[in-house]
Chain A
């Protein structure tokens, strides 16, 4: 019984929690692991979103070799790469906010990156569409 208690105490996190970042693990209580894992998957999905933008930008750069207006395409590709990096960074920010809210049993914060992402993708699509129409109209 005593051994069981000790094991349960160990498993329940009686040892000091030294995990970083302290701004997350220093507050609140341990949430259900399922919620933490879902938060981890959400952050990974944001990383993949940023990665998609980076890969698209790189692919656009190599495509610009064959294009008529390489300067414009290269700038669009560079911007796509930088925005992708920002979304990868946002993955960490949103993970931290969500994990804090989970530990404090607070409502989850709104996904503030989502409108930015939608706006960015629309702007990118309009830019590329404008480029396509422009290069077709004035070859």
Chain B
């Protein structure tokens, strides 16, 4: 059985131009960044004694880490030859926005308290 080497005819055994490692590493860096950001926020919340901030930051970290560990992004082309990037992008962007909102609410709250 020969396979069609066309670009959309299923994943070839090894496409040197595809370089799935780059995309996979990019995903890993991003998820790691979300987890580190939530850890920084949780640490800051712990020091300030803000339970809500700690819980929100921990939730963001868990929501980022668990799907990435359970189904690690391979970075390559799926078996059906179609990428489904957008759903994953939306999820990670939503987590970053949640982290940003928690941090911004906290910062502005502190700023208003200090002023």
Contact indicator B114/A11 (Cβ below 8 Å): no
Q: Which residue of B lies closest to A33 (CB)?
A: B77
A54's partner among B6, B84, B100 (CB-CB below 8 A) is B100
Contact indicator B96/A40 (Cβ below 8 Å): no
Residues of A within 8 A of B (CB): 4, 7-8, 11-13, 17, 19-21, 24, 30, 32-34, 36-37, 39-41, 43-45, 47-48, 50-52, 54-55, 57-62, 64-65, 70-72, 74-75, 77-79, 81-82, 84-85, 88-89, 91-92, 95-96
Contact indicator B96/A84 (Cβ below 8 Å): yes
Q: Does B70 contact A (CB under 8 A)?
A: no
Q: Is the interface of A mostly helix, strand, loop or mixed?
A: helix
The 10 A-B pairs at the shortest CB distance, nearest first, are namely A74-B111, A85-B100, A62-B44, A78-B107, A81-B104, A88-B96, A81-B103, A11-B10, A11-B9, A71-B114
B3 shortest CB reach to chain A, Å? 8
Contact indicator B6/A81 (Cβ below 8 Å): no
B103's partner among A20, A58, A89 (CB-CB below 8 A) is A58
Residues of B within 8 A of A (CB): 1-2, 4, 6-10, 17-20, 22-23, 26-27, 29-30, 33-34, 36-37, 40-41, 43-44, 47-48, 75, 77, 80-87, 89-90, 92-93, 96-97, 99-101, 103-108, 110-111, 114-115
Q: Is the interface of B mostly helix, strand, loop or mixed?
A: helix
Count A/B pairs, Cβ under 8 Å.
Answer: 177
